[in-house]
Amino acid sequence: MGKITVETCEIEGLKVITPTVFGDARGYFMETYNYNDFKEAGIDQIFVQDNQSASTKNVLRGLHFQIHFPQDKLVRVVSGEVFDVAVDLRPGSATYGKWHGVVLSAQNRKQFFIPKNFAHGFLVLSDYAEFAYKCTDFYHPNDEGGIIWNDPDIGIAWPIPEGAQLIMSEKDPKWGGLAEYTEKYRK
């Protein structure tokens, strides 16, 4: 291995990956993904779709998941900085409803591996950010699910600057909370 450093999180399955950066006077080079290195680190997934989004400061996206076609995700920031969050929705998990957040930036080059059955979202901290992610299943537009970003039952400590006006899609502020999700999907 040696090309990546993997930190485990307090929620089983979540991992923060830092690639080795090779730099010189010309700039730098790094592998953002190498199947063999990730497999050796316990992330033995086949990714089938790559996505990238651009957002401005105070954009909050999430918390999203696919209901019947859950995806493992490997996320990173190409430009700027975000606070990235995963919420455990795995049935029977000892950490069900718990969250973990990590700052991802172009400077720290960290990546966040989020297994299936987690809700995912992020808040843009910089003036502008480009966010890239790999997924193990294709996007199914009729399979979208979500949980409201500020559900007190989850209690995410979003680093929202005082007085900031969040920018969200029309649907994100309308999602229900963890209790509604549990009642609807985890009976």
Catalytically active residues are 64, 133
- CA 127 from centroid of its chain's CA atoms: 19
Smallest Cα–Cα separation from 88: which of 156, 172, 173, 141? Answer: 156
∠ Cα 96 98 103 (to 5°): 140
Distance CA 70, CA 169 (A): 21
Q: What are all long-range contacts of 19-23, with beta carbons under 8 Å and residues at least 24 apart?
A: 19/109, 19/111, 21/109
Q: Which of helix, strand or coil describes residue 86?
A: strand
Distance CA 181, CA 106 (A): 34
